[in-house]
Amino acid sequence: MFTGIIESLGEIKQIRQEGSNVHFSIASSISSELKIDQSVSHNGVCLTVVAIEDHIHTVTAIEETLKRSNLGQWQVGSLVNLERAMRSNGRLDGHIVQGHVDGTGVCTRVDDRDGSWNFHFRYKPTQEHLLVDKGSICINGVSLTVVSPVDDLFSVSIIPYTYEHTTFKSICEGDLVNLEFDVIGKYIARYAQLYFKAMPV
């Protein structure tokens, strides 16, 4: 379980294919503090640490993860948002994030607001993946507030601290981002589907 509050940026140092799996080796300020088998959010994707050497840790992504996320587009030198799992006695500063990416969205526009930035995205809405104005959304592992969702479009506002300390400073129009929708909303949507399905016609 995560909160969507990014701890560190990591840099992809090596990418190695093994069958349908891909191993990513990442250098970061927290890599040396990690442990084998530890779960860490990488751009919102929960991945298991499989190796550590000095300031570099390695994780493995399977085919399903590569298809559902933007990990398949990572290259050596790419920056990645990192967050370790939440402590049970910690503060929930963002929102409940599982690290289970639901799909991807595309950045359609970035507006510079002279002190903040508005990022606009297009995604594929479904009955399970709904957005509400001022609700929560996780983009590349960052907990954010939804602004003005209409049809398949929504936006988020980014303050300078978040811009400088996450991968948002490198997101441009046309870039693919990982999306995880609010887990509470997903459960409500699923229960509603089952309820109406069970109602007599």
Provide the token pair at 159. Answer: 């303050």
Below-70 pLDDT ranges, the chain: 199, 201
The secondary structure of residue 29, as a DSSP letter, is T
Task: Provide the sign of the torsion angle of the four alpha carbons 53, 57, 63, 66, taken in this order.
Answer: negative
pLDDT digits (tens, 9 = 90+) for 7-38: 999 999 999 999 999 999 999 999 999 999 99
The secondary structure of residue 140, as a DSSP letter, is T
pLDDT number for residue 152:
95
In our burial notation (b when 16+ CB lie closer than 10 A, e otherwise), range 5-36 reads bbbbbbebbeeeeeeeebebbbbbebbeebee
Question: What is the C-alpha separation between 174 and 190, in angstroms, rounded?
Answer: 31
26 in Cβ contact with 12 (< 8 Å)? yes
pLDDT digits (tens, 9 = 90+) for 156-166: 999 999 999 99
143 in Cβ contact with 135 (< 8 Å)? no
